[in-house]
Structure 1
Amino acid sequence: MKLNTIKRTAICMSLFAAVGCTDNFEEINTNPQGFSQEQLEQDFNHIKAGFAPMFNNIQVIGSGLEDQYQLQQNLNSDIWSGYMATPTGFRGGSNNTTYDLIDGWNDAIWTNAYPNVMFNAYDIANKSKGKFDNFYALSLILKVEGMHRVTDIFGPIIYSQFGKNAPIGYDSQEEVYNQMFSELDFAVTELTKRVDAGEPTAFADADMSSYKGSYKAWVKFANTLRLRLAMRIVKVNPTLAKEQAEKAVAQKFGVMTANSDAFRIISPTFFNSIAKINDWLDIRMSADMESILKGYNDPRIAAYFETSAQFPGQYKGIRTGINIGGKGDHERFSGIGEVVQTNVIFLVTTAEAYFLRSEGALRGWNMGGDAKTFYEMGIQSSFDQRGAAGVSAYMADNVSLPIAYVDPSFPENNGGPVNNITIAWDEAVTNEVKLQRIITQKWIAGFPEGQEAWSDYRRTGYPKLLPVVVNNSGGKISTALGVRRINFVQSEISNNNAGVATGLAKLGGPDNGGTRLWWDVNTPNF
C-alpha cells in the first residue's frame, strides 16, 4: 500500500467538497486551455465531460490511484467476499481483515464516490434534465450502478438530499432503493423511446464501456441492474422484489443474454487496479477459493490465479483473519492471474444475469424459464467469458466437493471444507440446497468483483466461508457471520455530524460493522 497518497486532500473535506463550497464554481471549472463555454457546449461536451469521472470511480481506475482502489474495495469486500486474502499484517495485524475496522481506510469508499460519481451525476442532471434527457438517462444508470454499492456498504446514505444546504440528511436504505428503481424507470423509458424512433446515439465518444453508445445495450444493462437490486431486497420486501424482477425481464429489450451484453468499463491505458496491488504482493488467492476451485477441479482457476512461487505448479491460498508474523510467510502464495491483467473491468456480467434468473425462477417468479436451465446457462456463460474448456463434464459432476484448507507452515490456520455442495443440478433437493448451488456458482463466476459477492454472502449466507481465526472487533462483529457493513465515515462525522445523526436514526442498530443493513434480514431464505 502506498500510504503517502492516503492523505490526499479535496477542495473541502467530506461531502461539502461536492456541493457545499461552490461559490467559485465557474472559476474552478474554467477550462485551462481557454475554451469558452460556448465552445465547450458544442457537441454536448459540457455534459459529456462529467461521465469519465463516473466511469473511473465506480471502481477506482488510474495509474497511481491503485491505493485508492485498495482502500475503496480491495481491503474490505474483495476479502470479506472470500475471493482474496492479504499476506500483509497491516497495522500489526489489527485491521479490516481481523474485523478491527480502520476508519482511515474506509473513508476512501465515500470520498471517491461522492465527488466523482454522485457530484457528476448531479451536475449532468442540472445541465441535461428536461433538455437532453438521453444524457440524463445515461447518467442515472451510472449513478445507480455506482451508488448502490455505497448504500450496500454503509446502509443509510446521502442520496435524495444531495445538493441541499448543510446539514445534509441521510436517506434510509429503503428510500435509496425506491429512488433507484424510479431512476431506472425513467432511464429505461427514455432510452427505449429513442431506440424505437431510430435515433442515432450521441454518446459514443463519451462511452467508456463496451457499448459504444448503444442505447439498446444501456437499456439491457439497466434492466439487469434492476434485477440485481430486486433480488437484493427479496427477504425484506418479497412483493416489490418480484415486481421489479419480472419488470426487468419483461421489458422489450430484456436483460443480458449474450456475453457481449456484459457491462465492461474499458480504460484507454490503465489495467485493473488489482494487478498493481498484486505486484505489491499485498493480495493473494484466498483459502476459500482454493478449497472450492481445487475441490471442483474448476478449469477457471488458471485464469483467476497464478500458481504459487513457493510451491511450484500448485495453487495455494491464504486464510483471512489469521495472525501474520511477517509478510514473507505467505507472500509467495498464489497471486491474482490474467483476469486482472487487462484494461477491461467487468462490473455486471451475463453469467450473473442468468444466475439471478435462476434464483428468481426458484422462487416462483416469471423469469422466462426454469431454475435449472438458467443455472446451467450461467455456468456456460462464465466458461465462455473466461475461455475455459470442459463445461459439459463440469456441469454433470455430482461427486466433487470443496477440499480442506491446509496452511503448509501454520497448522493453526487449517480448516475443513465448509461449503459442502456439489456442482450438478438436482431437482430432488430442497430449495435451500438449490440456492446454495446457484450462489456458489454465481460466486465463482463473479470473480474478481468482490463487492457483489460480499453482498450476496450477507443476503444468503452462501457460499459458506471459513471464519476468521482472529477477531479483533471487541465483540462488535460476529466471527460466524462476518462483517455486515462499514461504519459511517469520519470525514462526515467531522463535517456533517447532524446529517450523520439522521443516518444513524435510520440504521436500526449501533454504528459498527456488526449491524445488519435493511435488506440483510435475519430470516430464512425461503
Structure 2
Amino acid sequence: MKLNILKYALAALPLVTFSACMDFDTPSDEFNKETDVTLRPEPLHGDADNLEIKDVVAEEDFPEIKKALKNDLDMLITAQYYLMGGKDGNLPGEHQWQYVYSLTTDNYAGYTTCDQSWSGSFPTTYSYKRDFCEGPHGRFLSMKNNLGNLLNNDLTNEMVEIKAIALLLFDHVAQECTDLYGSIAYQDHKGNKETNPFTFNDGYTIYTSILKNLDDIIAVFDNFPNRPSWYQTQINQILQDNDALTQTKSIDTWKRYANSLKLRMAMHLVKVNPTDAQRYAEEAVASGVVEDMANEVGLNPTTNYFNAHPLKGIMSGWNDVRVNASFVSMLTSLQHPYSNYLFAKNTDKLINSADGSVTDAGTVVVGLRAGLRMESGQQYYANPRVAYSQFTGEDFEFMNIYAIKWAEIDFLRAEGALRGWSMGGTPQFFYERGIKNGDCGDRFGFPSGNYETYLDDYMEVEKAVPYTYVDPMDHNNNIESVTKIGVKWNDSDDNETKLEKIITQKYIAIFPYSYEAWTDMRRTGYPKIFPVLNPNLGDGSLNDGDLIRRMPLPHGDLQAGMDDIATSGIEALGGPDLQATRVFWDNTNPNF
C-alpha cells in the first residue's frame, strides 16, 4: 500500500537553532547556557520506545521516505560524534573532551589529575564545582537534540533498523549519565520534551527501561536477514552514509554493540539483583557480543582523520592535566608495558620548599596525587606542578576512542565466568585475552609494537614490585604503592583476589575511558588507588580517604532545575544530592 508521505513533510523542513544547556567552546571558561544546537522548528513527540517489526513498506515508497528523513539521518552522524567526544558535527576535540571527561571523571577514576585551579575556582579535583559537573549531561542533551526527532517520528518505523540504532545511541549515553549522577530525566528527554518541568527517573527504572529497549533493538537486528534483499541493500547504504562508529558498517556489528552494552549493564546490577544480572549477561553473550577487533565500536584517528586523541592537547598543549600518581604507581608495581614508554619525565626542575632539595628536569617520572591543592596558572613560572609527568609517545597520541572495546567485553566475561555464569569460556581465558588485546595504542593504522614487546614477560608477573611514590615538591604526599597483586592467573587464588586482578587489568585496558573505570571502583572497590587528599574540600559529605560516589544532579544552578530536583530529583536519587550519596547499584554488599 502506498504511504501518504505528505503528512511527514515536517521531516524535510530546514534546520533552525534552539538554545541548549552547555558551552564546550572555551577550555577554562565556565559554561555559557546559550549554546546553539541544531533542532527542528517543531520537535516531534511520538513513541520512541516503539520498535515495530512489521511488513516492509513498498519498494517504490522507500526513496521518498529516505528523502523525508534526510535531515534526521544527517543528525545521526552528529549524535555519534557527540557520544565520542565531538561537537556540532565535528570529530572529537579538546574543548568537548575536557568538559565531558577531564575535569571530573578522569580525576575520580585516577587516570589523570588537574594541575591548575582555574584562578582559584577549582582548588582540588574533588572540589564541588557544579559547572564542570554539568559537562557529561550537556553531552546527553546534545545527543537527545540530535536524536529526538528520529526517535519520535512515526516515519522512522518504516526503516526500523535505523530507529533501533538511534535508540541504542540514546540509551548508551543515558546509561552513562545514570551512572554518573544517579538519576536523570530519562523518559522526558527520550520523548523529546523541551521545557521544564522535567521529571527525574530513578536509576533502577532507567536501567530496566534501557534493558527492555536493548532486547527490542536486538530483536530488530535479528530479524534483518529476513527482510527483502532490496530493503537490506537500502539499509546497508544508509549505514554506509551514516555509520561513523563501526568498521564493518553492518547490522551485525550494531547488534554486537547492543549486546555488549547489555552485558556491561548486567554486571553493574550484580549487587542489586544478581539473578537478573546473570540472566541478562548470559542472554547477551549467547546472542553475540564484540569479540574481535573488526567489531569494536569507536573512532580511529588514522581512519577517521582527526589529528590526535583530545587528551594530548589538553595535557601537552594547555597544561591542564597531568598523570595521576596512582596510575604511575599501579603500572610500575605491576611492571606493565606502559611503564616502559607511556610516561614522560618531569619537564622542569622541581624544588622542595621544606628542605630545599632540587629534582632536575628530565630525571623522574612523577604524577600528581588526586585531591592535591592546585595552584593557579598553566605555565611553569606561575605553577611548577605543570612540570610533572605527562603521557607521551605515538601510542598515546593515536589512541583509539572506544564506545565498546573488545578488551572490556572480555574482562566482563571473565568476571561473569568467575561468578559461575555461562560466558563461553573460563575466567582465565577471557582474562588473558583481555590483557593481550588491551593496548591503548592504534592497533589498526600505525601500531607501534611497544606493547607486544613487553607483553610475554608481563603475563608472567606473579608479584607486584615494591614502589613508593615520592612527591619532589612535598614529601607529605609520599605513599607506598597500594597495588600488591600480581598479573599471572593463579587458579589457587581466592575469588576476591581473582576479581581484583580482573578489574585491575580491565582498568588498564580501557584507559582512558574513565566512566566505566570509576563505576568499577565504586561497584567492586577495585582497582585500589591512593587515598584522595583533601576530599572534605568538596561538598563536605566526604571523609578522609573516601572515594567520590557521584556528581550533583544536573541543572541545580538554575531555578527551574532546582525546582525539578526538589520535586522529583531527590526522591529518584534516593538520598541527598551530595558527593557521598551512592547511586542505586553502588551498595556495601560483598562482591561474593
Could you tell me whether the CA contact under 8 Å between 2:336 and 2:458 is conserved in 1?
yes
Of 149, 152, 158, 1:123 maps to 149
Q: Does 1:332 align with 2:387?
A: yes
Distance 1:139 1:411, change over 3 A: same
Equivalent in the alignment of 1:76:
104
Question: Structure 2 matches for 1:458-473, cutoff 5 A?
Answer: 458-471=522-535, 472-473=537-538
Equivalent in the alignment of 1:178:
208
Per the alignment, in what secondary structure is the counterpart of residue 346 of structure 1?
strand
Query: Aligned partners of 1:479 and 1:131: how far apart in 2?
Result: 56
Query: Aligned partners of 2:313 and 2:526: how far apart in 1?
Result: 29
Query: Aligned partners of 2:245 and 2:113: how far apart in 1?
Result: 29
Describe the superposition over 1:383-409 as per-residue Cα deviations: whole angstroms up to 9, x where unpaired.
494741232321111023362211122
1:122: how far off? 2.1
Per the alignment, in what secondary structure is the counterpart of residue 284 of structure 1?
strand
1:100: how far off? 2.2
Q: Does 1:297 align with 2:335?
A: yes
Query: Aligned partners of 1:140 and 1:25: how far apart in 2?
Result: 16
Query: Aligned partners of 1:519 and 1:494: how far apart in 2?
Result: 29
Describe the superposition over 1:290-340 as per-residue Cα deviations: whole angstroms up to 9, x where unpaired.
101122221134564434324436432111111234653221222133345
Q: Does 1:451 align with 2:515?
A: yes
Describe the superposition over 1:374-432 as per-residue Cα deviations: whole angstroms up to 9, x where unpaired.
11111111149474123232111102336221112211111111122111111112111
Higher deviation after alignment, 467-476 or 360-369: 467-476
Per the alignment, in what secondary structure is the counterpart of residue 529 of structure 2?
coil
Query: Aligned partners of 1:506 and 1:367: how far apart in 2?
Result: 33
1:126: how far off? 2.1
Query: Aligned partners of 1:204 and 1:301: how far apart in 2?
Result: 40
Please report the TM-score for the alignment, with normalisation by the length of structure 1: 0.89
Equivalent in the alignment of 1:511:
577
Per the alignment, in what secondary structure is the counterpart of residue 402 of structure 2?
strand
Per the alignment, in what secondary structure is the counterpart of residue 298 of structure 2?
strand
Equivalent in the alignment of 2:187:
160
1:212: how far off? 4.4
Equivalent in the alignment of 1:31:
none
Equivalent in the alignment of 1:381:
437
1:363: how far off? 0.5
Counterpart AA for 1:118: K
Per the alignment, in what secondary structure is the counterpart of residue 372 of structure 1?
helix
Equivalent in the alignment of 1:35:
none
Query: Aligned partners of 1:492 and 1:206: how far apart in 2?
Result: 36
Question: Structure 2 matches for 1:50-449, cutoff 5 A?
Answer: 50-61=75-86, 66-92=94-120, 94-95=122-123, 97=125, 99-114=126-141, 116-127=142-153, 128-162=155-189, 163-164=192-193, 166-195=196-225, 197=227, 199-200=232-233, 201=236, 202-251=238-287, 254-266=288-300, 267-269=304-306, 271-278=308-315, 279-301=317-339, 304-310=342-348, 311-312=361-362, 314-325=364-375, 328=380, 329-337=384-392, 338-342=394-398, 344-383=400-439, 385=443, 387=449, 388-389=451-452, 390-401=454-465, 403-449=467-513
Query: Aligned partners of 1:316 and 1:460: how far apart in 2?
Result: 27
Query: Aligned partners of 1:418 and 1:514: how far apart in 2?
Result: 23
1:3: how far off? 3.1
Distance 1:2 1:166, change over 3 A: closer
Q: Does 1:9 align with 2:34?
A: yes
Distance 1:96 1:270, change over 3 A: farther
1:492: how far off? 7.0
Query: Aligned partners of 1:150 and 1:96: how far apart in 2?
Result: 23
Higher deviation after alignment, 438-447 or 261-270: 261-270
Counterpart AA for 1:257: E
Q: Which has the larger radius of gyration?
A: 2
Structure 2: stretches of 5+ with no match in the other structure: 1-25, 45-62, 349-360
Query: Aligned partners of 1:436 and 1:242: how far apart in 2?
Result: 20
Equivalent in the alignment of 1:487:
552
Query: Aligned partners of 1:382 and 1:289: how far apart in 2?
Result: 16
Could you tell me whether the CA contact under 8 Å between 1:235 and 1:523 is conserved in 2?
yes
Per the alignment, in what secondary structure is the counterpart of residue 545 of structure 2?
coil
Higher deviation after alignment, 233-242 or 269-278: 269-278
Query: Aligned partners of 1:177 and 1:96: how far apart in 2?
Result: 32
1:261: how far off? 1.9
Query: Aligned partners of 1:394 and 1:58: how far apart in 2?
Result: 33
Could you tell me whether the CA contact under 8 Å between 2:463 and 2:485 is conserved in 1?
no
Query: Aligned partners of 2:481 and 2:183: how far apart in 1?
Result: 36
1:153: how far off? 0.8
Query: Aligned partners of 2:136 and 2:556: how far apart in 1?
Result: 11
Per the alignment, in what secondary structure is the counterpart of residue 379 of structure 1?
helix
Please report the TM-score for the alignment, with normalisation by the length of structure 2: 0.79
Query: Aligned partners of 1:188 and 1:211: how far apart in 2?
Result: 19
Could you tell me whether the CA contact under 8 Å between 2:260 and 2:290 is conserved in 1?
yes
Per the alignment, in what secondary structure is the counterpart of residue 407 of structure 2?
helix
1:460: how far off? 0.7
Query: Aligned partners of 1:148 and 1:96: how far apart in 2?
Result: 27
- Percent identity, please: 28
Counterpart AA for 1:74: S
Query: Aligned partners of 1:5 and 1:268: how far apart in 2?
Result: 30
Structure 1: stretches of 5+ with no match in the other structure: 12-16, 27-37
Distance 1:174 1:148, change over 3 A: same
Could you tell me whether the CA contact under 8 Å between 2:114 and 2:321 is conserved in 1?
yes
1:10: how far off? 3.3
Could you tell me whether the CA contact under 8 Å between 1:84 and 1:283 is conserved in 2?
yes
Distance 1:5 1:503, change over 3 A: closer
Higher deviation after alignment, 165-174 or 295-304: 295-304
Query: Aligned partners of 2:388 and 2:364: how far apart in 1?
Result: 9
Equivalent in the alignment of 2:7:
none
1:459: how far off? 0.7
Could you tell me whether the CA contact under 8 Å between 1:85 and 1:319 is conserved in 2?
yes
User: Larger relative CO (CA 8 A, sep 6+): 1 or 2?
Assistant: 1
Per the alignment, in what secondary structure is the counterpart of residue 331 of structure 1?
helix
Query: Aligned partners of 1:394 and 1:186: how far apart in 2?
Result: 42
Could you tell me whether the CA contact under 8 Å between 2:124 and 2:372 is conserved in 1?
no
Could you tell me whether the CA contact under 8 Å between 2:248 and 2:295 is conserved in 1?
no
Distance 1:77 1:195, change over 3 A: farther
Higher deviation after alignment, 171-180 or 316-325: 316-325
Distance 1:426 1:69, change over 3 A: same
Describe the superposition over 1:134-188 as per-residue Cα deviations: whole angstroms up to 9, x where unpaired.
1111112211222211111111111122234742211110011111111111211
Could you tell me whether the CA contact under 8 Å between 1:110 and 1:489 is conserved in 2?
yes
